[in-house]
Structure 1
Amino acid sequence: MDICKLSLAVADILTGIQILIVVSFNFTWTMNSTPVELIQQQSALQGSPQAYLHFTYLAPTFLYQPAITSNASNVDYSVAIAFMIIFHLLPFMLLTASCVITVVFVYVVGNSRSNNTGTKQSQSSNNRKNKRKLAVLKTIAIMQIGFTATLLPIVVTASLFYSGHLDCDDIAQPYLICFYFSMTNSLVNFIVYNAREREFRNEIVDIFKPGYLKQLSVQSTAETPRKDEHLLKNVVSIENVIETSKTQQTRQTSTSL
């Protein structure tokens, strides 16, 4: 289970590292370019596959993203709104639905299974079960609150822009902050999977201690003779049982004769 959680955390970290690598190059290029060069870059995208997919280079985020490329007064925001629904709202709704299903499964299905057993459980057993349920509820609550907090600002900012309360001159800085704040939802996964468990935290700390791998190797080497010795004792014990059985059979045979 710890390996599974660690792999999920590493996957989230690698996603963030990938975005940072791409952004670092675009950030350097944008900061060293003049406004005229940025406009020329936008013009070079006309007729390209990115343009047909309504992708353009957004200087505020330093990434190629879906954007409105028309300069007309009556701009159709349907494509941008569709992208926001598909890439932001739909995953959030799926997450919410999965959290609700998990809560129902843990509390409703779990209680029905315990009732079907027909046995009275001890008070300590009920307390342990309630603690596990509470832990699941806390985990789901952290997931839901974390993803809501990271997603809500960018949705609000985009809604203000589409409704006309923010124009192109005012939206650059708020959108930059809200966009990269939404990227921090990977940190929520790390907290949910790892940081809440004391044993996992201690194991992560031990990994970075000097000589940790050497210590594991020494422990593995020390445990091997113990396993062999335990196996040898079992074999000797079985042989003694067989020998005792043969002796008893011999005595019974001699007595009958």
Structure 2
Amino acid sequence: MKPENLTMFNLSLCGIPPYCDYEAIRECWNTTIRDCSLCSNAGSDAILTYILLMATFIILGNSLVVASVLVIESKSRKTQDLVKTSLAIADMFTGLHLFAVCVPYIVLTPKLTFKELNDYVIVLRQSDLAKAMAPVLMFTYISSLYHLFYMSVQRFIAIYAPFTYRNQSRRSVSKHLAILWVILIVGSTFSLWESNYFQNFYRPEMFQFMTTVDPVAMGICIVLPYLVMSGLTFATACNARKRLQRSRSYRVDSAANRETSLLKVTFCMYLGFTVTVVPVVITNALQIGQYLTCDTVSVAIFATVHTSTLSGILNVLIYSAFDRTFRQTILKVSYRIRGKTESNSCRNSNNVRLRQFYARNHGQSTVKRVKSNDDVIKQGDVMNDVSKS
């Protein structure tokens, strides 16, 4: 078929690779995308590099989260550690999905002509591959949302019903998480249960498979949980200060500080999810309302969809910034990987603190006399002063 005879009746391509101008469909109908003058090879390489780096960081970062929980003794693990592990495992699916789906299609696309790409999109519609991969993409979205929803409920209970929250057993939280995973699996595969109503297809502008977006389904599965989560998060934040001050009056400062830290982590994760994922919903709504047309939708869809993958690594960065226990357990993991014992690291840490103490109180001449671990052990009285300071 000649390019000048193309119409929307025989053309299945609306979105195209984001590094191509939409006019390239007509100009390069029988020319490979790599050789098309209206497509950027540098843009294709940049996209591939970004996806590879993002997938690697997501998998490695969340693997550290899981490892940090595993190194904690079973009796010392808290209920929030179970939630943290569950969310990390769910986030790792995002990285695996990028490796399994996006990377191969990013590599394949420049080798095709627009005619071949058009035929490819038609063949893949409602194919077995599309039915297998589209639910995975849906899972990556709602898994973060529903885990954060559960964490918001937990923080809400911790502020308004602290006795009930502190008496939760790990077994009950495990049951909650098991139910959550069942909801995630059912929610992400709804297109398979209603195959006559929903369709699974390949979108070349995002190099992924997705399900047709229905406004009602999107409102029930995504928008409504997000609004409820927002209400719980802000209600908890508004009342947290008053409740925590009351807790301090009963001399439970450590518990109050721990709840404050957990609330900060949850609130930052909520903001991170909002910044990275909500634009995807807005972009799809604009496309449904036909505010985004075929010649403008590609860059917007790619940018929002693949910016949302940042949520998979953002949680790890938040833990590193606000969760001191996470940082300490990561150090334990690094010591074990390098074959070092924790006692040696503690002794080295005490050495540093002792030298700092001498530098502050006795000058550099005294520091020079404290050279070995034996010297440190002999300074028993000084060590007591250091521990008190």
Asked if Structure 1 and Structure 2 have the same fold, meaning a TM-score greater than 0.5 normalized by the shorter chain, the answer is: yes
| Pick aligned residue for 1:186 from 312, 321, 333 | 312
Q: Verify: 1:215 aligned to 2:293, yes or no.
A: no
Q: 2: CA distance between counterparts of 1:110 and 1:48? A: 55
2:264 alignment partner in structure 1: 138
Aligned amino acid, residue 169 of structure 1: D
SS of corresponding position for 1:26: helix
Q: 2: CA distance between counterparts of 1:154 and 1:211? A: 39
SS of corresponding position for 2:214: helix
Q: Verify: 1:17 aligned to 2:151, yes or no.
A: no
* CA drift at 1:191: 3.3
- Once the two structures are overlaid, the 10-residue window that deviates more, 36-45 or 127-136, is 127-136
Q: 2: CA distance between counterparts of 1:215 and 1:45? A: 54
- Equivalent positions of 1:140-155 (< 5 A) are 140-155=266-281
Q: Verify: 1:55 aligned to 2:208, yes or no.
A: no
Root-mean-square deviation (CA, aligned residues, Å) is 3.9
Q: 1: CA distance between counterparts of 2:301 and 2:92? A: 24
Provide the TM-score with structure 1 as the length reference: 0.60
* CA drift at 1:129: 5.3
CA contact (8 A) 1:61 1:176 kept: yes
CA contact (8 A) 1:107 1:133 kept: no
CA contact (8 A) 2:92 2:312 kept: no
Structure 2, unaligned stretches of length 5 or more?
1-65, 70-80, 132-194, 346-389
Q: Verify: 1:80 aligned to 2:214, yes or no.
A: yes
CA contact (8 A) 1:30 1:38 kept: yes
Provide the TM-score with structure 2 as the length reference: 0.42
Over 3 Å counting, the alpha-carbon distance change for 1:136 and 1:216 in structure 2 is closer
Over 3 Å counting, the alpha-carbon distance change for 1:108 and 1:210 in structure 2 is closer
2:115 alignment partner in structure 1: 36
Q: 1: CA distance between counterparts of 2:115 and 2:220? A: 33
SS of corresponding position for 2:292: coil
Over 3 Å counting, the alpha-carbon distance change for 1:98 and 1:15 in structure 2 is farther
Q: 1: CA distance between counterparts of 2:314 and 2:236? A: 18
Over 3 Å counting, the alpha-carbon distance change for 1:33 and 1:80 in structure 2 is farther
SS of corresponding position for 1:184: helix
Over 3 Å counting, the alpha-carbon distance change for 1:59 and 1:46 in structure 2 is closer
Work out the percentage of aligned pairs sharing the same amino acid: 21
- How many residues are paired up? 200
Over 3 Å counting, the alpha-carbon distance change for 1:130 and 1:14 in structure 2 is closer
Aligned amino acid, residue 54 of structure 1: Q
Deviation per residue, 1:68-101 (Å, 9 max, x gap): xxxxxxxxxxx53245335542442353355367
Q: 1: CA distance between counterparts of 2:271 and 2:257? A: 21
| Pick aligned residue for 1:92 from 226, 231, 235 | 226
Over 3 Å counting, the alpha-carbon distance change for 1:181 and 1:86 in structure 2 is farther
1:201 alignment partner in structure 2: 327
Q: Verify: 1:162 aligned to 2:288, yes or no.
A: yes
* CA drift at 1:174: 1.1
Q: 2: CA distance between counterparts of 1:8 and 1:193? A: 14
Deviation per residue, 1:187-236 (Å, 9 max, x gap): 232234444223432442453358633536999xxxxxxxxxxxxxxxxx
Q: 1: CA distance between counterparts of 2:92 and 2:125? A: 32
1:7 alignment partner in structure 2: 85
Over 3 Å counting, the alpha-carbon distance change for 1:205 and 1:12 in structure 2 is farther
Deviation per residue, 1:26-81 (Å, 9 max, x gap): 211222211111111222245656575311100011111124xxxxxxxxxxx532
